[in-house]
């Protein structure tokens, strides 16, 4: 992930699902903020892409008991555990099996998502045709190297 910049000065962040049954906290700066255009993220979020905050797994404190659904990448075969609230259904976290040291926090669940600046976009070839590329973000046709 060396091609993806981290976000300086993020500080402590908290977040939760819609109903509050699952919440989390982390006190480290994210390793990266990445937009994902893959088909699974589009379907999982019901949106054109997801905004993913990559955080060291050991730094993430989770309260509550999220449920999990495992998916297999359509093109790359990578396993993903997609964690969501069993009460309200909010997608909250994703576990990348090839990077077990990281957790992906869905930015929309943060209590205060201000200050996040995505530095990369993955699965760009799956991006909706109405999304304009930004010169401020690296683009990868698949997963980031």
Q: What is the pLDDT of residues 101-145, one digit of tens each?
A: 999 999 999 999 999 999 999 999 999 999 999 999 999 998 887
- Supply the mean pLDDT for the chain: 90
pLDDT score for 3 = 32
**What's 73's domain CATH number?**
2.170.150.70
Nearest to 14 by CA among 66, 61, 72: 61
Enter the tokens of residue 139: 């683009």
61 is in which domain, residue-wise?
14-126
pTM of the entire predicted model: 0.86
The dihedral through the CA atoms of 53, 47, 144, 118 has a sign that is negative
Residue 11 has pLDDT above 80, yes or no: no
The tally of domains found in the chain comes to 1
Model confidence at 84, pLDDT cuts 50, 70, 90, reads: very high
């Amino acid at each position: 992930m060396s091609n993806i910049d981290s976000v300086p000065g993020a500080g402590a962040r908290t977040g939760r699902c819609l109903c509050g049954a699952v919440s989390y906290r982390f006190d480290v700066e994210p390793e990266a903020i990445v937009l994902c255009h893959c088909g699974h993220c589009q379907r999982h979020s019901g949106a054109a892409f997801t905004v993913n905050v990559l955080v060291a797994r050991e730094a993430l404190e989770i309260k509550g008991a999220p449920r999990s659904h495992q998916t297999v990448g359509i093109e790359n075969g990578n396993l993903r555990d997609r964690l969501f609230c069993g009460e309200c259904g909010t997608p909250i976290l994703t576990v990348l099996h090839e990077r077990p040291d990281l957790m992906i926090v869905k930015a929309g669940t943060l209590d205060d998502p201000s200050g996040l600046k995505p530095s990369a976009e993955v699965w760009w070839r799956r991006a909706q045709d109405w999304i304009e590329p930004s010169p401020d973000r690296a683009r990868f046709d698949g997963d980031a190297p």
